[in-house]
């Protein structure tokens, strides 16, 4: 028997292997392996999660109000008109003069509204842009708040010959306008003590 045992030892295929584990041991090992795979890492209450980036939406900046000034002639009262000399008044009636002064103020309003919108970059037509440039040059040359003969020609009295001169003389003598003659350019009539109206858009 010893001889046979020695012969078996010389051949590895005859080595005795360990006995197979019992079925209960296989089940416990398998369960332990599954439990290990299912284990979830504990959440540390002190660990902060990912920071959420909050995009602060900045609204549109508030538009700055656009402002410009409209000059107006200080209207003459009837009492003041009656104090004029008969030579100054001529055949002119107070109501006529008031209508003509209103027309002049309307021309001032048109001119400085166009110029104000142009300077504040408010939308205007191509013709108004051209006119605004002329108005700007007149202000630079003749002082603020003036009308040229071209603008005054839109008033009804300007086509009435003698009446035109009479009205302009009354306005100059009562210190409402001053006249500035320019070489090779139209004469400017500048408001002496205007009432200023502010326009806001």
Could you tell me which residue, 35 or 111, shows the higher pLDDT?
A: 111
pLDDT at 64: 82
H or E segment and range at residue 4: helix 2-9
Question: Structure tokens of 151?
Answer: 């603008």
pLDDT at 84 over 90: yes
33 Cα distance to chain centroid: 71
15-34 average pLDDT score: 52
pTM recorded for the entire structure: 0.67
Domains and CATH numbers, the chain: 67-200 (1.10.10.1890)
Q: What pLDDT is stored for residue 47 in this prediction?
A: 47
DSSP string covering 151-166, please?
HHTTSGGGGSTHHHHH
Look at the alpha carbons of 183, 188, 193, 196 in this order and tell me if their dihedral is positive or negative.
negative
Kind and range of the H or E run holding 146? strand 146-148
Q: Could you give the residue ranges of the DSSP H alpha helices within 86-196? A: 86-89, 94-119, 126-142, 149-152, 162-173
Q: 82 burial class (0-12, 13-18, 19+ CB within 10 angstroms)?
A: exposed
> Looking at residues 134-160, what average pLDDT do you find?
86
Residue 73: pLDDT band with limits 50, 70, 90: very high
Contacts of 181 (CB under 8 A, 6+ apart): 187
């Amino acid at each position: 028997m010893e001889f046979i045992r020695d012969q078996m030892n010389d051949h590895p295929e005859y080595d005795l292997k360990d006995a197979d584990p019992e079925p209960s041991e296989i089940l416990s090992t398998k369960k332990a392996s599954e439990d290990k795979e299912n284990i979830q890492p504990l959440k540390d209450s002190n660990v902060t999660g990912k920071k959420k980036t909050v995009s602060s939406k900045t609204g549109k900046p508030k538009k700055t109000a656009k402002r410009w000034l409209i000059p107006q002639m200080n209207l003459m009262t009837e009492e003041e008109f009656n104090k004029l000399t008969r030579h100054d008044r001529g055949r002119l009636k107070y109501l006529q003069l008031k209508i003509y002064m209103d027309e002049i103020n309307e021309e001032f309003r048109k001119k400085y509204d166009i110029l104000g919108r142009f300077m504040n970059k408010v939308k205007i037509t191509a013709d108004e842009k051209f006119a605004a440039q002329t108005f700007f040059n007149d202000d630079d040359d003749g002082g603020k708040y003036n009308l040229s003969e071209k603008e005054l020609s839109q008033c009804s009295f300007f086509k009435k010959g003698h009446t035109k001169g009479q009205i302009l003389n009354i306005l100059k003598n009562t210190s409402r306008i001053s006249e500035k003659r320019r070489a090779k350019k139209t004469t400017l009539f500048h408001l002496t003590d205007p009432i200023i109206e502010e326009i806001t858009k």
